A and B are shown apart, each in its own frame.
Chain A
Amino acid sequence: MSSNNNAPINDNNDNPIEGWYLTAYALGELDQESQDKVEAWLAKHPEGLREIEAIRQTASKVQQELAISAQSIQLDPTRTERVRESIAIASQNADARKDLEEIKRSGHKKVRQRRFLMAMTAGLAAGLAGTAFWLSTPNSSEEFSLIQIEPLNARALETTATEWTEENSARAQSGLALTPKSPSSLPEILARDYEESKTLSAGVDDYLVKDSKPQESFGKKADSLQDNVGRLSRSVAAADAAQGLPSFQTPAGPGFGLPGGGGGLGGAMGGRGLGAGGPSQALSGGGSAATVRNEDRFRRETGTDKTELEAGLDLKQDSLGIFPEELKQNVPSLNKSSKANERVSGDRFDSIPETPFVSVHKEPLSTFSIDVDTASYSKLRQYVLENNVVPPPSAIRIEEWLNYFDYQYPGPQGNDPFAAHMKLGDCPWNTKHKIVRVALQAKKVASQDRPKSNLVFLIDVSGSMGDANKLPLIKRTLNVLTAQLREQDKVAIVVYAGASGCVLPSTSGAHKDQILASINELQSGGSTNGGSGIELAYKIAKENFIPGGVNRVLLCTDGDFNVGVTGTDALVSMMQEQAKSNIFLTCLGYGIGNYNDSMMEQISDKGNGTYAMVDSESEARRVMTEQLSGTLMTVAKDVKIQIEFNPAKVHSYRLIGYENRRLAAADFNNDKKDAGEIGAGHRVTALYEVVPVGQADSIPGAIDELRFSQAGKPETKLTEVESASQEWLLLKIRSKQPESSESTKQEFVLGDVASTLDYEGQQSDFDWALSIAEFGLLMRRSELAPSLSWEKMLARAMDSTASDPYRQECITIMQRARSLSGQ
C-alpha cells in the first residue's frame, strides 16, 4: 500500500534496495520516489524498521556528541582546508572570498586565540539566541576545530548585544573598525572580543533583574550603526571564512546563507549578533530569531530542517561556566533527541507554524472552528510508549491533546446543544500573561438513548494493513462495537483495496453472529483505492438512511490511498460532496510509520467528520464504548467560535493550538463555511494566552508593528463602552442542528469573575488543561513561551489527575517524553 502506482509491491516478490538507502531514509534524505521504494521494501521486510530505528539512534547519538560536548576531531589537514574553502565558495559570497584571499596573504594563521562569538537577536529573538564558537586555526599546534554552541536567553542578552554594539560602533568610529582593509588587526581584536564577551556575559544577570528596555535604545541606534555594523560583520565573515567558519551576511535571511552554517547551528549568527539588518530588525544577527521567522523559507531554500539546527544548542553544557545559572534555567527547552525523529518515519504530517501573538487593536476578533479530534494524542502515546521516540513537532496538535481528556464541565440547560465555560487564570510560562480557557460541553446522551444508527464501515484491507496494529486491531474495534449494537441499529461493511466491495450488506444489530463472522473473515492484500470504496460506502449509507437517526460512515485506514483518486485534494472534494447528504464521517486511523495524518485530518474535516486514532485495544474500547454516543451521534455541526477581546483589558492574545482550524472573521456568520462538528457528550477546550494591557514588553519575540505603533502613533482612543467595561472578552458560538443548514448564535461574556460557573473539580480541569498545553509547547519547542518548565508542568499535572486513568497514563507519557527529550 505504500507503493506507488507503477510498482505495486504485491506484484514483486522482492525488490532489493541498496543498504545506504536505509540510512538516507532514516535521515530523511531521500526524494519521494526513493522513499516510496524504501517503504515498499519495508512493507515486505518489517525487520528493516528495526534497522532504521537503530540507524536513527546511532545518528542521533553521534549528532549529540558532535553538537553538545566539546569535541576535538582531527581532520586530514589538506582535506580540511579544501572543505573549508569549498564551503566559503559554496557561499557564493564574493566578499568573503575576496577577504579570504586577503587575509590569507597577510598571514591570519597567527591567530591563536580562540574566538568567542556571541550572537544576540536583539529584541526580535524568539526565545533563544546565542552561539559561541571556539576554534583554532588549522596550523596551530593544537590542530582541531572545536565548536561549541551555547544558546542564551535572548531577552537577557539583547542588552548585552546593545552594549556590545555601542562599543564596536565607537571602535569603528575611532578607526579600529574591522574592515577588510585592515585584516592584520584581526587577531588582537578577536582576542579582545573574546575577553569582552566573557565580561559582558557575566553581567547578564544584572540585566535580567533590571528588566531594562534594550529594544528601544537598540532601535534608535540602529540606523546610525548600520554602516559600521555592515563593515564589521563583513570582516567577521571574512575571518570566519578564513577559519573555516561560514560567514553570515544575510541578516534578514534565515541566518544560513551558507551550507556550512556555523555548525549549521542557528548559529553562526553573523558573529556576535552583527548582521546589518534593515532598520526594523537591525542587528537581529540573523540568528535564531531570523531562523524562527524564516523557518519555512529556510526549509525551502536549503532543504534543511530548522530542528536539525537546533540540536545540540544546550546552554546547560556551559563548559566555561560563563553563563549565570538564571540564564540556564531560562533556556527554552530544546528537544534534542526528537530532532532526528523529525524525518525518520514514513508518517506524513503537514508542518504547523506556531501562531504568533496578535494585537487586539489589529485584530479584535479571533475566529476558529471547533475540533474534537484526538488522533494527535493517540499518536503521541504510540510514539512515546511503544516506539520510544518523541513525535515530530508537526505531529503535535495541542488542541487534540486537550480534547482527548475528560473534563467535568457541566452540560447545557434545556434544549441548547452545548454549554460554554470560561475561566481566567495565570499563565505558567509567562507570569505577566493570563490564560483564558474556553470550554464547550455538548449535551450528553446515554448510549441506550441514542437514536437508531445506520453505520457503514469502510475498511482498508490493502497489503500494508496486515500489521498487528492495523487490520487485526480494526477487527477488535468492530467486535467491541458489535457488542453494543441494538436490534434497531444497522451495520454494513465495505472493504477496499485494489478493488472495493461490500462484504456485509446493511444488517440489523440483532444478527450479531453474521456481523462478527464477516468481520473475522477480513483479510489484507492488494493496493489501495480509497476513492471508489468511499463512493460505495456512501451509496449504501444513503440507501439505508434513517431520518432523524445516526447515519455515519466509519473509515478505518492508515490513510495511505495510492490507487485511483489519490490526491488529497480530490479526496477532500469528494468527501465535501458526500457530506451534503447528512451522512457523517468518522475517520479511525490505524498504524504508525506510514500514516497519512494530514489527509486523514482533512477528509474528516471536510466530510462532516471526526478523526480519532486507534493505537491499542484499550483505545478501541474507549472510542466504541465510553464515547460511543459522541463517536456516532452528532449534536451540532459547523460549530464556530468567535471571540471579541476588549482592548481596554487585553493588549494582545494568541490561541494555543487550533492552527489548522483558524477562520477569517467574516466566516463566522457565513453559514456556507464548513466547520467542525460536535458529538454527544463531546467537550472542546481552547486556551488563549492573553497579554493584559500594560504588559506588552513581556511578549517573547516581537510583534512587528509594536515598536512603531507605540512610539509613533497616539494611543488609540478607547470607546466609553470599552474602557468602562471590566469584561475581558465576548465569546460567540455559532452552530447548526445536525440536519439544519441555518445556524444559531449563543453569546457569553468573561468578566473579572474567574469562571462563569463553579463546579467541583474545575480547578483541576483548568490545571490539567494548562499542563497539557505546556507539555505540547515543550514538545513543539515553542519559541513564544520563555519559561516553560518540565518540572512545574509535571507537578501541576500530577496534582490535577483527579484519579482519571487517562490522565494518569498521560503522566507516564510526559515523564517518558521528558527523558526522551534529554530533559
Chain B
Amino acid sequence: MAKQSHELATTLTASREADPHEAIVDREQKETLQEKIGNLPSLEKEVVLLRLGQGLSYQQIADVMDLSVSHVGVLLHQALGRLRLAMNPSK
C-alpha cells in the first residue's frame, strides 16, 4: 500500500514536469535525498524528522529527545551539511 502510493506520488510529480529528462533527474535527486535522509546517523535523522518533518522547535526536540538545545543544534547542523553534500556532490 505504502509502496504503491509512493510510486503514484512519484508518477504524479513526474507528470507535472514539462521536460521528461528533468523529471527523471528530479526523481533521481529525490530518491537520493530520501535515501540520504534514511542513511543519516540515527540521532541526526531523528532531529531532521522532528525539526523539518514535524516542525518542532529546537527546544521541543530537546525536550522530547532529552538532549540539550545546543546538541540538537549541532546534530541538525551536521545533518544538513551531509545532506547538502549529497545534493551537490560536485561542490
Tell me, in angstroms, the Cα distance from A18 to B50 when the chains sit together.
22
What B residues does A70 contact at CB under 8 A? 2, 5-6, 9
Complex contact B9–A75 (CB within 8 A): no
Is A748 an interface residue when CB atoms closer than 8 A count as contact?
no
What B residues does A320 contact at CB under 8 A? 5, 8
Q: Specify the chain A residue showing the minimal Cβ separation from B37.
A: A73
Tell me, in angstroms, the Cα distance from A66 to B6 when the chains sit together.
12
Q: Specify the chain A residue showing the minimal Cβ separation from B79.
A: A62
Complex contact B51–A27 (CB within 8 A): yes
Q: Specify the chain A residue showing the minimal Cβ separation from B59.
A: A303
Is A59 an interface residue when CB atoms closer than 8 A count as contact?
yes
- Residue in B13, B55, B73 whose beta carbon sits within 8 Å of that of A264 in the complex: B55
Complex contact A65–B30 (CB within 8 A): yes
Known contacts A83-B65, A148-B5; A69 and B10 CB within 8 A of each other: yes
What B residues does A18 contact at CB under 8 A? 74
Tell me, in angstroms, the Cα distance from A302 to B58 when the chains sit together.
11
Shortest beta-carbon distance, B43 to chain A, in Å? 8
Complex contact B2–A72 (CB within 8 A): yes
Complex contact A74–B38 (CB within 8 A): yes
- Residue in A20, A59, A62, A67 whose beta carbon sits within 8 Å of that of B33 in the complex: A62
- Residue in A58, A144, A147, A260 whose beta carbon sits within 8 Å of that of B56 in the complex: A260
Shortest beta-carbon distance, A410 to chain B, in Å? 45
Complex contact A317–B9 (CB within 8 A): yes
Complex contact A76–B84 (CB within 8 A): no
Is A478 an interface residue when CB atoms closer than 8 A count as contact?
no
Is A820 an interface residue when CB atoms closer than 8 A count as contact?
no
Complex contact B1–A86 (CB within 8 A): no
Shortest beta-carbon distance, B76 to chain A, in Å? 6
Known contacts A55-B80, A263-B54, A304-B57; A73 and B63 CB within 8 A of each other: no
Is A520 an interface residue when CB atoms closer than 8 A count as contact?
no
Complex contact A260–B37 (CB within 8 A): no
Is A104 an interface residue when CB atoms closer than 8 A count as contact?
no
Shortest beta-carbon distance, B67 to chain A, in Å? 11
- Residue in B33, B73, B80 whose beta carbon sits within 8 Å of that of A21 in the complex: B73
Shortest beta-carbon distance, A342 to chain B, in Å? 12
Interface string of B22-47 (1 = CB under 8 A from A): 00000000100110011000100110
What A residues does B12 contact at CB under 8 A? 316-319
Tell me, in angstroms, the Cα distance from A321 to B46 when the chains sit together.
30
- Residue in A20, A61, A71, A265 whose beta carbon sits within 8 Å of that of B77 in the complex: A20
What A residues does B37 contact at CB under 8 A? 62, 65-66, 71, 73
- Residue in B38, B53, B63, B87 whose beta carbon sits within 8 Å of that of A67 in the complex: B53
Q: Specify the chain A residue showing the minimal Cβ separation from B52.
A: A63
Tell me, in angstroms, the Cα distance from A408 to B38 when the chains sit together.
58
What B residues does A67 contact at CB under 8 A? 53
Is A309 an interface residue when CB atoms closer than 8 A count as contact?
yes
Tell me, in angstroms, the Cα distance from A86 to B46 when the chains sit together.
13
Tell me, in angstroms, the Cα distance from A24 to B74 when the chains sit together.
9
Known contacts A19-B77, A90-B63; A134 and B1 CB within 8 A of each other: yes
What A residues does B64 contact at CB under 8 A? 83, 86-87, 90, 259-260
Complex contact B42–A259 (CB within 8 A): no
Q: Which of A229-270 contact B (CB under 8 A)?
A: 259-261, 263-265
Complex contact B60–A23 (CB within 8 A): no
Complex contact B76–A23 (CB within 8 A): yes
Complex contact B8–A23 (CB within 8 A): no
What A residues does B55 contact at CB under 8 A? 261, 263-265, 304, 308-309, 311
Tell me, in angstroms, the Cα distance from A731 to B80 when the chains sit together.
55
Of the listed residues B54, B77, B80, the one surrounded by the most CB atoms of chain A closer than 10 A to its CB is B54
- Residue in A24, A27, A65 whose beta carbon sits within 8 Å of that of B34 in the complex: A65
Tell me, in angstroms, the Cα distance from A63 to B48 when the chains sit together.
9
Complex contact B73–A62 (CB within 8 A): no
Tell me, in angstroms, the Cα distance from A67 to B37 when the chains sit together.
13
Known contacts A62-B80, A65-B37; A86 and B65 CB within 8 A of each other: yes
Is A789 an interface residue when CB atoms closer than 8 A count as contact?
no
Is B16 an interface residue when CB atoms closer than 8 A count as contact?
yes
Complex contact A73–B38 (CB within 8 A): yes
Is A142 an interface residue when CB atoms closer than 8 A count as contact?
yes
Is A604 an interface residue when CB atoms closer than 8 A count as contact?
no
Shortest beta-carbon distance, B58 to chain A, in Å? 5
Is A510 an interface residue when CB atoms closer than 8 A count as contact?
no
Complex contact B49–A75 (CB within 8 A): yes
Known contacts A316-B16, A318-B12; A76 and B2 CB within 8 A of each other: no
Known contacts A317-B9, A320-B8; A20 and B76 CB within 8 A of each other: yes
- B contact patch SS: helix
Interface string of B74-91 (1 = CB under 8 A from A): 101110100110010000
Q: Specify the chain B residue showing the minimal Cβ separation from A194.
A: B1
Q: Specify the chain B residue showing the minimal Cβ separation from A321.
A: B8
What A residues does B2 contact at CB under 8 A? 70, 72, 114, 134, 136, 142, 144, 146
Shortest beta-carbon distance, B57 to chain A, in Å? 5
Is A79 an interface residue when CB atoms closer than 8 A count as contact?
yes
Tell me, in angstroms, the Cα distance from A62 to B58 when the chains sit together.
17
Tell me, in angstroms, the Cα distance from A22 to B6 when the chains sit together.
34
Complex contact A61–B49 (CB within 8 A): no
Is A202 an interface residue when CB atoms closer than 8 A count as contact?
no
Q: Which of A152-192 contact B (CB under 8 A)?
A: none
Is A29 an interface residue when CB atoms closer than 8 A count as contact?
yes
Tell me, in angstroms, the Cα distance from A330 to B69 when the chains sit together.
41
Shortest beta-carbon distance, A561 to chain B, in Å? 30
Is A446 an interface residue when CB atoms closer than 8 A count as contact?
no
What B residues does A263 contact at CB under 8 A? 53-55
Shortest beta-carbon distance, B12 to chain A, in Å? 6
Tell me, in angstroms, the Cα distance from A219 to B52 when the chains sit together.
37
Known contacts A69-B13, A72-B6, A260-B64; A79 and B42 CB within 8 A of each other: yes
Tell me, in angstroms, the Cα distance from A142 to B1 when the chains sit together.
10
Complex contact B34–A259 (CB within 8 A): no
Of the listed residues B12, B37, B49, the one surrounded by the most CB atoms of chain A closer than 10 A to its CB is B49
Tell me, in angstroms, the Cα distance from A423 to B87 when the chains sit together.
52
Known contacts A75-B49, A321-B8; A303 and B38 CB within 8 A of each other: no
Q: Specify the chain B residue showing the minimal Cβ separation from A66.
A: B53
Tell me, in angstroms, the Cα distance from A72 to B9 when the chains sit together.
13
Is A54 an interface residue when CB atoms closer than 8 A count as contact?
yes
Complex contact B57–A58 (CB within 8 A): no
Tell me, in angstroms, the Cα distance from A87 to B66 when the chains sit together.
11
Shortest beta-carbon distance, B79 to chain A, in Å? 9
What A residues does B60 contact at CB under 8 A? 90, 259, 302
- Residue in A59, A83, A317 whose beta carbon sits within 8 Å of that of B46 in the complex: A83
What B residues does A147 contact at CB under 8 A? 53
Q: Specify the chain B residue showing the minimal Cβ separation from A87.
A: B64
Tell me, in angstroms, the Cα distance from A54 to B52 when the chains sit together.
16
Shortest beta-carbon distance, A195 to chain B, in Å? 13
What B residues does A72 contact at CB under 8 A? 2-3, 6, 34, 38
What A residues does B9 contact at CB under 8 A? 69-70, 148, 317, 319
Tell me, in angstroms, the Cα distance from A320 to B84 when the chains sit together.
30
Q: Specify the chain A residue showing the minimal Cβ separation from B2.
A: A146
Known contacts A54-B84, A308-B55; A319 and B33 CB within 8 A of each other: no
Q: Specify the chain B residue showing the minimal Cβ separation from A62.
A: B52
Q: Specify the chain B residue showing the minimal Cβ separation from A305.
A: B55
Of the listed residues A70, A144, A317, the one surrounded by the most CB atoms of chain B closer than 10 A to its CB is A70
What B residues does A21 contact at CB under 8 A? 73
The 4 residue pairs across chains A and B that have the minimum distance between CB atoms: A264-B55, A319-B9, A20-B77, A259-B60
14 contacts across the A-B interface (CB closer than 8 A): A20-B76, A24-B77, A69-B34, A71-B6, A71-B34, A72-B34, A72-B38, A73-B37, A73-B49, A142-B3, A259-B60, A259-B63, A304-B55, A309-B55
Q: Interface of A with B (CB < 8 Å)?
A: 18-24, 27, 29, 54-55, 58-59, 61-63, 65-67, 69-76, 79, 83, 86-87, 90, 114, 134, 136, 142, 144, 146-148, 259-261, 263-265, 302-304, 308-309, 311, 316-321
**New contact pairs (14) apart from A27-B51, A73-B45, CB-CB < 8 Å:** A22-B77, A24-B58, A58-B83, A61-B33, A61-B87, A62-B52, A62-B83, A65-B37, A69-B10, A70-B5, A73-B38, A87-B64, A260-B56, A303-B59
